[in-house]
Structure 1
Amino acid sequence: MYFANVSIAEKYNYLEEKFLAAYKWLRETDIAPLDDGTYPIIGEDVYASVQSYTTIDPSEGSYETHEKFFDIQYIVSGKEKFGICKRDGLKVKETIAERDLIFYDDPDMDGSVLLLQGDLIVVAPEDAHKPRLIAGEACAVKKVVVKVKI
């Protein structure tokens, strides 16, 4: 999936070396037995964060963005609804600079994507996203968030 405004359509190269290394790691690594934690792919520029959790009600989550990294969010097992909207115009709720996180109030209008086992979504700094949401009913999810430095 590629989601962008035409004004920034050519801003990023989603097939540059860092992205290709991330896709290859996701494709070739046996992730299921990995413990939650961080795994380097290309030093500090590209790394994987393995996470396990139970999906949450949308009222419990928040939209977020990152300034320094793209997210490649990949579902190892389970399923989740993944909220998505443009960052422009959102009201900042909280900034945690040391974690490269900005949280926002929910917008009046947003969309979502259903992520199933084996699916991934690439989220740019311009994309606000609300992960970990219940898709039908709460379920256990194992996910990898690959961080790709801008």
Structure 2
Amino acid sequence: MILDTLDNAARYESLNSRFAKTFAWLRTFDGTQAIGRHDIDGDHCFALVQTYETKPIEKAKFEAHRKYIDVQFIHSGRETILWAPLASMKEEMMAYSEEKEAALWKLTADFTPLHVSDGHFAILWPQDAHAPCIEWDKPEQVLKVVVKVAVE
């Protein structure tokens, strides 16, 4: 897991061959793009633009993916992403689904809260269980881009 600002993104471009394209696309994101999917490199790298109101921690569910790395970028608003090692997940709510490209677990007591706001991103690999969209200290409207980057 990595948490940083878009200003420092170039430091991470060597970690995956598609990260340079990912961060180049995020640098052009100005909030006027349509909600939904935007292809960067077909199914190998694509952005999901979304807006929502953050939810209380009681509604948190951990998720993890196998085929994609998440680069979660906050354009506007603030949220908390709960992070924990995948190996610490105990109570499965949904077994891994190829169709949804995710598995879900109940909230565990042992997690690290990541506070993410305008211009910040988190990189979450398949071994990083995460519960996004959680209130920081109050409900808030968020405009977020999740770039799905294929694991190499």
Tell me the TM-score range normalised by the shorter chain.
0.7 to 0.9
Superposed counterparts of 1:19-98, under 5 Å = 19-30=19-30, 32-91=31-90, 92-95=92-95, 96-98=97-99
Q: Deviations over 1:81-126 (max 9, x none)?
A: 1100100031221033211010012223111111010100000000
Q: Which has the higher strand share?
A: 2
Cα distance, 1:38 vs. partner? 0.1
TM-score, scaled to structure 1: 0.88
Q: Does the CA contact (< 8 Å) of 2:76 and 2:117 recur in 1?
A: yes
Q: Which moved more, 1:118-127 or 1:95-104?
A: 95-104
Where in structure 1 are there 5+ consecutive unaligned residues? 4-12
Structural RMSD (CA): 1.6
TM-score, scaled to structure 2: 0.86
Q: How many positions carry a matched residue from both structures? A: 140
Cα distance, 1:15 vs. partner? 3.2
Q: Percent identity?
A: 28
Cα distance, 1:14 vs. partner? 5.0
Cα 1:143/1:16, change in 2 over 3 Å: same
Aligned to 1:124: 125
Distance 2:87 2:16 in 1: 26
Aligned to 1:142: 143
Distance 1:103 1:16 in 2: 25
Aligned to 1:106: 107
Where in structure 2 are there 5+ consecutive unaligned residues? 4-12
